[in-house]
Structure 1
């Protein structure tokens, strides 16, 4: 088995997220993901045996990014209440700026990936 290629994995996730901005998760197949990434289906299957696992990793990446935004928003708050309020405002702002990603992560990808 060949070594993992972090750049290819990153590219696969990025290109798949681009597809998810255009289509519903159930409408996307592994061959389409491969074609969008400019690699063979075999290359995709080397890293992801099924698309649900790929979607799950993308959802986790988006949640991690969102968590960073929330932590950053609450970082300078003076009280626990203010931390919560700042986090809620940051989350709302992120959802408004990224409605499709928010919808996918919170609803479609999470359900499809079996969270």
Structure 2
């Protein structure tokens, strides 16, 4: 028999962390659309009222959980350029890491960069805002190192559009059954390389 914990059986911070872990597990398995306060409570083994001790609603819970997605993306990006020497190669490595993260973690990718993000106030959660900015800054810094005289925000947004478009089409299976992950990575990498060439 499984005993369900009440909010009082957790230390204050432990309950919040447990709820975020449960949310992350649902996001990874079924995507952000599957997250409900009831489902998170059940996954965490707490009462249905427990999530409301820390989050006013599902939107706030998802916004907080997005920090985990941004941190995972940031870690993947950082690892991809750990040994990079050539500035252009570094930007292309970031592009590939970004896309591979999206393909490996479609649930988290939808949460942090999907269409429904407009409904979430990510900036209202300090750790989410910081994690998202850290990932963004890492990319901007590498673009700046390669193209110091370019409009950095323009290059960033054009690069993002290329990667996000490819990732979204692949994740939603719009590129066809025979289109593999490696095909998607090659397509995005080639697109970013051509884009960078126009600014070099």
Match of 1:111 among 100, 107, 118: 118
Query: Number of residues paired by the alignment?
Result: 112
SS in 1 for 2:50: helix
* Distance in 2 of aligned mates of 1:97 and 1:30: 25
Moved more, 78-87 or 15-24: 15-24
Determine if contact 2:41/2:51 at 8 Å carries over to the other structure: yes
What pairs with 1:1-115 in structure 2 (closer than 5 Å)?
Answer: 4-6=12-14, 8-20=15-27, 21-22=29-30, 25=33, 28-108=35-115, 110-115=117-122
Determine if contact 1:104/1:110 at 8 Å carries over to the other structure: yes
* Distance in 2 of aligned mates of 1:108 and 1:37: 27
Point out where structure 1 has 5 or more consecutive residues left out of the alignment. Answer: none
CA RMSD of aligned residues (A): 2.3
CA shift for structure 1 position 56: 0.6
Point out where structure 2 has 5 or more consecutive residues left out of the alignment. Answer: 1-7, 123-200
